[in-house]
Structure 1
Amino acid sequence: MKTQELFNILEQNQGKSLCFEYAPNLMVGTNYHITEVKHIAVESVDCGANADSWNETIIQLWESPSEIEKTNYMSVYKALGILKKVGKMKSYRLDAEVKFEYSNETFHTAQLFVNDYEIQGTNLIFKLAVEKTDCKAKETCGIPEDKLTMEPTNACCSPSSGCC
Structure 2
Amino acid sequence: MKLSEIKEILPALENVEFQLENGTLIPEHFHVTEVGIITKHFIDCGGTIRSERVVNFQLWNANDLEHRLKPSKLLNIITLSEEKLGIEDREIEVEYQSETIGKYDLNFNGNHFILRNKQTACLANDACGIPTEKQKVKLSELNNACCAPNSGCC
**Category of TM-score, reference length = shorter chain:** 0.7 to 0.9
Q: Structure 2-normalised TM-score?
A: 0.78
Q: Distance in 2 between matches of 1:133 and 1:10?
A: 30
Residue among 25, 32, 35 paired with 1:34: 32
SS of match in other structure, 1:17: coil
Q: CA deviation at 1:73?
A: 4.1
- Alignment match, 2:94: 100
- Alignment match, 2:6: 6
Q: Distance in 2 between matches of 1:136 and 1:99?
A: 19
Q: Distance in 1 between matches of 2:40 and 2:5?
A: 20
- Alignment match, 2:105: 113
Preserved CA contact (<8 Å) 1:59 1:101: yes
- Alignment match, 2:152: none
- Alignment match, 1:143: 130
Preserved CA contact (<8 Å) 2:36 2:81: no
Q: Which runs of 5+ in 2 are unaligned?
A: 135-154
- RMSD of aligned residue pairs (Cα, Å): 1.9
SS of match in other structure, 1:41: strand
Q: Which runs of 5+ in 1 are unaligned?
A: 148-164
- Alignment match, 1:150: none
Q: Distance in 1 between matches of 2:15 and 2:69?
A: 6
- Alignment match, 2:81: 86
Runs of 4+ in 1 over 4 A off after TM superposition: none
Matched residue type, 1:110? G
1:75 aligns with 2:70: yes
Listed one character per residue, the Cα deviations across residues 68-99 of structure 1 (whole Å, up to 9, x for unaligned) are 3x3x74221121112112222111111x2211
Give 1 or 2 for the bigger CA radius of gyration: 2
- Alignment match, 2:16: 18
Q: Structure 1-normalised TM-score?
A: 0.73
Q: Distance in 2 between matches of 1:4 and 1:46?
A: 30
Listed one character per residue, the Cα deviations across residues 87-114 of structure 1 (whole Å, up to 9, x for unaligned) are 22111111x221111114xx42111111
Preserved CA contact (<8 Å) 2:93 2:105: yes
